[in-house]
């Protein structure tokens, strides 16, 4: 049995080596016009890039706060199971892409050394090889099937809402976000970006808002996303969420934040001149802290809400305009 298997394996390996050689021949014939120098340089760059990516992922993968940091290369650390799944699919694809690039590099190197004009002055005239063509069709198909398994399971997890504990409605406006808590006496407030001179110590620039979205930890939160004027997008990298906010349409998504802390995101759909200045700030707190916040928010925002008359709206507008002015002045360095 062992001997038979060995013999069979040997024959198979012979066939594989033969096939590889043919593959190299074909590659060489096809890319002959490309000079060796250029092919070498291109391969070097591509492999370098492919090699660096996983190394960076390993080196910088877990040290980030839940916000963008200067020179960031990898994804923000996951705060929800959905983002963990997204990050692992991302890592898997990265290694797969690396393996494929490395395999191609080896083939090219083999061709360059073995079949250059000096080493192989009389090239083969081979033009067809059925087993080889079947292999180079089947292998990519198999790779795609393998990739589809984690990919579809992630898509299913994103689209299938688990039993929901509470709902938040996020509405995109030009250029800020409005939030409503329908399960908590319709607490409603707007979140406008703070400008540089309004920031407290340690608050990140262009990401901090006057009012944060507050949610309890380990709670399944449904987010209903819509917009009032143009298309915006409610995106929170650490939660693995990026959901279009479309006027006249309710989109829904969900998250379950498993770590307390402050998380930052941004509108991710080009929505006008101040698209870059409508950040999203979510505070994940303990359930007790959330209960306290709800009571405070009811008082703070309810009066605000009852008075949601034209007067209030125009006051808000002038506030936004003031901020816009402020921004212009900021840009000019005034």
Catalog residues that contact Cu ion under the rule CB under 5 A. 232, 267, 271
Distance CA 177, CA 213 (A): 10
Q: Residue 119: CB partners within 8 Å, gap ≥ 6?
A: 113
Please, which residue, 50 or 236, has the CB nearer to Cu ion? 236
Least distance from Cu ion to the Cβ atom of residue 257, Å: 23
Least distance from Cu ion to the Cβ atom of residue 58, Å: 34
- Residue 145's alpha-carbon distances to 121, 180, 223, 254, 272, in angstroms, are 41, 42, 32, 28, 40
Nearest to 219 by CA among 81, 56, 37: 81
Please, which residue, 74 or 244, has the CB nearer to Cu ion? 244
Please, which residue, 115 or 239, has the CB nearer to Cu ion? 239
Least distance from Cu ion to the Cβ atom of residue 155, Å: 25
Least distance from Cu ion to the Cβ atom of residue 266, Å: 9
Please, which residue, 185 or 229, has the CB nearer to Cu ion? 229
Tell me the CA end-to-end span of the chain in Å, nearest whole number: 84
Distance CA 331, CA 323 (A): 12
Please, which residue, 66 or 225, has the CB nearer to Cu ion? 225
Least distance from Cu ion to the Cβ atom of residue 210, Å: 17
Distance CA 167, CA 310 (A): 27
Please, which residue, 222 or 232, has the CB nearer to Cu ion? 232
Q: Is residue 189 within 8 Å of 297, Cβ to Cβ?
A: yes
Q: Is residue 247 within 8 Å of 226, Cβ to Cβ?
A: yes
Distance CA 300, CA 306 (A): 11
Question: Residue 334, preceding bond cis, omega within 30 degrees?
Answer: no
Q: What is the CA radius of gyration of the chain?
A: 28
Least distance from Cu ion to the Cβ atom of residue 120, Å: 59
Least distance from Cu ion to the Cβ atom of residue 172, Å: 5
Least distance from Cu ion to the Cβ atom of residue 297, Å: 24
* Residues, the chain: 334
- Residue 244's alpha-carbon distances to 74, 130, 136, 159, 240, in angstroms, are 23, 47, 39, 14, 13
Q: Is residue 217 within 8 Å of 166, Cβ to Cβ?
A: no
Please, which residue, 25 or 232, has the CB nearer to Cu ion? 232
Please, which residue, 112 or 231, has the CB nearer to Cu ion? 231
Please, which residue, 108 or 281, has the CB nearer to Cu ion? 281
- Kind and range of the H or E run holding 173: strand 166-173
Least distance from Cu ion to the Cβ atom of residue 68, Å: 17
Phi, psi for residue 247 in degrees, rounded to 5: -60, 135
């Amino acid at each position: 049995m062992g001997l038979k298997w060995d013999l069979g394996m040997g024959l198979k390996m012979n066939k594989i080596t033969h096939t590889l050689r043919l593959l190299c021949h074909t590659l060489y014939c096809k890319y002959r016009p490309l000079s060796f120098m250029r092919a070498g340089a291109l391969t070097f760059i591509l492999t370098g890039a492919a090699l660096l990516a996983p190394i960076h992922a390993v080196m910088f993968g877990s040290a980030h706060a839940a916000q963008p940091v200067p020179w960031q290369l990898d994804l923000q650390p996951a705060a929800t199971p959905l983002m963990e799944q997204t990050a692992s699919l991302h890592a898997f694809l990265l290694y797969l892409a690396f393996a494929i690039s490395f395999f191609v590099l080896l083939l090219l190197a083999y061709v360059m050394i073995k079949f250059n004009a000096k080493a192989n002055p009389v090239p083969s005239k081979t033009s067809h090889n059925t087993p080889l063509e079947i292999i180079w069709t089947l292998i990519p198909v198999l790779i795609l099937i393998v990739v589809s398994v984690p990919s579809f399971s992630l898509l299913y997890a994103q689209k299938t809402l688990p039993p929901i504990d509470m709902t938040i409605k996020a509405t995109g406006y030009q250029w800020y976000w409005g939030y409503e808590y329908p399960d908590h006496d319709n607490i409603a407030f707007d979140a406008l970006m703070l400008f540089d001179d309004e920031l407290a110590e340690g608050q990140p620039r262009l990401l901090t808002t006057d009012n944060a979205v507050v949610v309890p930890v380990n709670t399944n939160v449904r987010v209903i996303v819509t917009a009032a004027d143009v298309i915006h997008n409610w995106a929170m990298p650490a939660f693995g969420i990026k959901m279009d906010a479309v006027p006249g349409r309710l989109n829904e998504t969900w998250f379950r934040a498993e770590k307390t802390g402050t998380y930052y995101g941004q509108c991710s759909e080009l929505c006008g001149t101040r698209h870059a200045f409508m950040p999203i700030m979510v505070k994940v707190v303990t359930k007790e802290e959330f209960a306290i916040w709800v009571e405070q928010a009811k008082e703070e925002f309810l009066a605000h809400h009852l008075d949601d008359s034209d007067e209030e709206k125009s006051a808000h507008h002038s506030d936004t305009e003031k901020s816009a002015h402020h921004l212009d002045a900021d840009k000019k360095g005034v």
